[in-house]
Amino acid sequence: MINNETNIEHLNKLIEKHSDNFVIIFFTGGMAGSALCRILNSHPEFYYKQKYLNQTEYNDPLKFPDSVEGFFVQDHSWLGFKQQHLGCVHTSFYTPWEKENSFENILEYFKIVSENRRIVLKTHDFSLIPRFKQVKRIVLEGDPLDRGFYKKYEVEDYSKENVLRFKIQNLMSSDYDTFLETYIQLVQELNLTPKVNSVRSFILMWLERQERFKRTLS
């Protein structure tokens, strides 16, 4: 039987061989990496499936469910139900290197590439940055954004790597002009079809939920 490490190595080689089909987001907890993943997936250039959106009401990565307050909760021993349901926007795919996602269907990534689709992956494992030199790599940096219980962290010096060092707080800003300038830069960098209003609506909802959790529920 092929173990998960073997599957992951096959996936790593697929990413290296078809680097134009992948974008990888590197981030630590609290840096809105899942929010950025949803934003990118909402553009027609990227692949997603509703079953990975942690809600069953809308086939749209940017739509919050209406029947409940938040997205379905994932099984993280280090993050409770309240934090996840009210403050997180996790997806159930796109993180093949994380131990808790060891049962991801790796074969689906091969299928996506065979259809020449682009896909966003995300990880907390910064050690993978040097491996995927030909892949578009986005490193999130700045102040932690969500739920108010993460400490500031410093991103290592990746000046020798051709990474996009992205200040996520500018995209998720409450100031419209700051958001718009950053979003358009991201659209141009990744050659995307702009979806300004949809993305802005999602960000405002996300900001409201972070503030509510921080003020009244944390």
Summarised one tens digit per residue, pLDDT across range 161-184 is 789 999 999 999 999 999 999 999
Is pLDDT above 80 for 60?
yes
Q: Which residues pair with 166 in a beta bridge?
A: 140
Number of domain units in the chain: 1
**What pLDDT is recorded for position 149?**
44
Distance CA 178, CA 185 (A): 11
Is pLDDT above 70 for 152?
no
Helix (H, G, I), strand (E, B) or coil at 141: strand
Residue range(s) defining the domain that contains residue 88: 4-217
Helix extents (H) in the chain: 4-17, 33-41, 81-87, 106-114, 168-171, 176-190, 196-212
Is pLDDT above 70 for 14?
yes
The CA-atom distances, in angstroms, between 129 and each of 8, 24, 31, 124, 183 are: 15, 9, 17, 11, 23
Distance CA 153, CA 163 (A): 18
